Amino acid sequence: MKKLFILSLFIITSIKSQTLGTQDMTFGNSGSTEFTFSPPVKGFQAYNMNLLPNNDFLVGGVSNWGCSSTSNYTGILSKFNQEGTLDTSYNQNGVLDNSAIVNRMKPSRDGNYFILNQYSTLSKVDVNGNLITSWGVNGYITLPYPYNIRDWKESLNNEIIINAVKVNFDNKVYSAIFKYHQNGTSDVSFGTSGKIEFANQPNLIIAKTDIDNEGNYMFTGKISTSLVYNDANIIVFKTNPNGNPISNFGTNGLLTITNYVSNTTNDTFTFITPDNGIIIITDRLLMFKVLSNATLDPSFSNGYKFPQNVAGITDVHFVNNNFYVFADRNATTFLLGKININGNIDTTYNGNGYILINKLAGPHGSTKTLIQGNRLIIAENMENYYCSQLNWKLIMRRFYIGEVLSTIENKYPDYTIIYPNPAEDKVFVKGLTNIELLSIDGRKIEIKTQFKDKEQILDISQLNKGIYFIKGKRHDDKVVSKKIIKK
């Protein structure tokens, strides 16, 4: 009876410890990881976090010396085990100390990583932080001066699409788009000699690059309507893979959304939806949904809505077709809200659609988050040393957030294209490998196939009319099955 009581108490305690919003005390040292460099005194500020396939994670940012005459800045890439302890087997005792600040970092499709530094240079490194010198010029892509990279995206074919901005002598901001081959060399067939410039549209700022489910490029940002009041309209620009604007999308590929005035300097988060639309999240959780025909989705509250009035959106994660929005609720509390793909608050989540998490006491810098299974890692940059407010220490904590099942977020859309459907003689397939044709009862059917222009052509002319399934492996190694109809 005593053993049964102890077991029951353990189960109750375990369940309670995983209540939504509670801190995971198994993370780091008694629930947190504090990361600085010493001796000598050296601060660290995290700018981004990336989850690895085994649930370990990388943290990139900047360190600085602020307490001596030899003060300087250096970029830092550090690796932590999934439980929040520094992986000392990585590079030099867990840290890659290089000369370039790690402003942003994204995984590449080949298992490596792209790093954007403060000099607007995009580099490619392997999982151990070593430069891949065969990519670009000695491992780097550097844009023409004075362009600064804002965002980039890797296509299904490992091509790199970059959006950037510059400030001209007239003190106005101008945007441009560049495209590079998978080896990091300029694709001069894209746009005009490898780039698209918005020379006649000052203060149009492209912030994000996306690729829709048909392989077209989607660029989102803002165009200023008042520099005095920091007001702007949201814009979406759409091109084909060669950089030619989609003529029936907005005005020669450019859609300007005038239904609501946004803030020019606020960040935006964008996501391609399964129906090939794009959802844009900005400001105080203002959400837009733009359909593939450049109209606002009328089922999405006429295209835009305010699911939760919160300030200071820091991160938005798109997992299992739900949005997990992390924001500053007030001076002492973070908020993590769950919103479904239709823009509605999921009130079944914690009974009200959100959880609250207390901030650490003291002055904060930027805050980053990472979803790791059913838990959220929060990285807070805290003021650390009296001698300089530029000296920070990184404090990471982990919290239970519930039913999130995917450890890797939906970073890439489904690029699978199958057409025509229904079909009579041939079916063209793009975005799948290891293709099989199956009957409705699951039997494999042998047919003639051929490749042309990165597409696989299936000859179905000899098949009987009816329903069949094309099975194959997607770019993210997920096996999918698509229904086709033989006329």
Q: By three-state DSSP, how is residue 18 classified?
A: coil
From edge to edge, which strands make up the β-sheet containing 333-340? 311-319, 322-328, 333-340, 354-358
Q: Are residues 460 and 361 part of one domain?
A: no
- Residue 460 is encoded by which pair of tokens? 């179905």
Q: Are residues 376 and 464 part of one domain?
A: no
Query: Which helix (DSSP H) or strand (DSSP E) does residue 13 occupy?
Result: helix 2-17
Does residue 407 contact residue 51 with C-beta atoms inside 8 Å?
Answer: yes
Domain end: 400, 428, 444, which one? 400
The CA R_g of the chain, rounded to the nearest whole Å, is 24
| Strand boundaries in 240-391, DSSP class E | 254-263, 268-272, 278-282, 286-290, 304-305, 311-319, 322-328, 333-340, 354-358, 364-372, 375-383
CATH assignment at residue 317: 2.130.10.10
Does residue 467 contact residue 438 with C-beta atoms inside 8 Å?
Answer: no
The answer to the question of residue 18 being in a domain is no
Domain end: 400, 435, 453, which one? 400
Q: Are residues 461 and 343 part of one domain?
A: no
Buried b (16+ CB within 10 A) or exposed e, 334-367: bbbbbbebebebbeebbeebbbebebeeeebbeb
The answer to the question of residue 163 being in a domain is yes
The answer to the question of residue 14 being in a domain is no
The answer to the question of residue 1 being in a domain is no
Q: Are residues 345 and 429 part of one domain?
A: no
Residue 278: the pLDDT is 94
The answer to the question of residue 409 being in a domain is no
Q: What is the DSSP letter of 240?
A: -
Q: Are residues 324 and 204 part of one domain?
A: yes
The answer to the question of residue 342 being in a domain is yes
Does residue 368 contact residue 314 with C-beta atoms inside 8 Å?
Answer: yes
Q: Are residues 466 and 384 part of one domain?
A: no
Give the chain's domain count.
Answer: 2
Give the pLDDT of the chain (487 residues) as one tens digit per residue: 544 444 443 434 444 457 899 999 999 999 999 887 654 556 788 889 999 888 999 998 887 655 555 556 778 889 999 999 999 888 888 888 766 778 889 998 888 999 998 778 999 998 888 889 999 999 999 999 899 999 999 987 889 999 999 988 778 899 999 999 999 999 999 999 999 999 999 999 999 999 988 889 999 999 988 877 788 999 999 999 999 999 999 999 999 998 888 888 778 899 998 888 999 998 777 888 999 999 998 888 766 565 555 567 889 999 888 899 998 888 889 999 998 888 888 889 999 889 999 999 887 777 899 999 899 999 998 876 555 545 678 899 999 998 765 544 444 445 577 888 888 888 888 878 888 888 876 778 888 888 776 678 899 988 988 888 888 877 666 677 788 888 8
Q: In terms of residue numbers, what domain contains 228?
A: 24-400
From edge to edge, which strands make up the β-sheet containing 455-459? 417-419, 426-430, 455-459, 449-452
Q: Are residues 425 and 312 part of one domain?
A: no
Residue 289: the pLDDT is 92
Q: Are residues 477 and 393 part of one domain?
A: no
- Residue 117 is encoded by which pair of tokens? 């530094």
Q: Residue 116 region, left (φ>0) first, then alpha (ψ -120 to 50), else beta?
A: beta
Q: Are residues 392 and 470 part of one domain?
A: no
Between the alpha carbon of residue 95 and those of residues 64, 79, 150, 476, the distances in Å are: 14, 7, 26, 29
CATH assignment at residue 472: 2.60.40.10
Buried b (16+ CB within 10 A) or exposed e, 136-165: beebbbebeeebebbbbbbbbeebbbbbbb
Kindly write down the DSSP assignment for every residue of 98-113, as one continuous string. ESS---EEEE-TTS-E
Query: Which helix (DSSP H) or strand (DSSP E) does residue 12 occupy?
Result: helix 2-17
Domain end: 365, 400, 435, which one? 400
Q: Are residues 279 and 153 part of one domain?
A: yes
Q: Are residues 438 and 322 part of one domain?
A: no
Residue 65: the pLDDT is 56
The answer to the question of residue 17 being in a domain is no
- Residue 320 is encoded by which pair of tokens? 């299992």
On whether the pTM is more than 0.75, the answer is yes
The answer to the question of residue 7 being in a domain is no
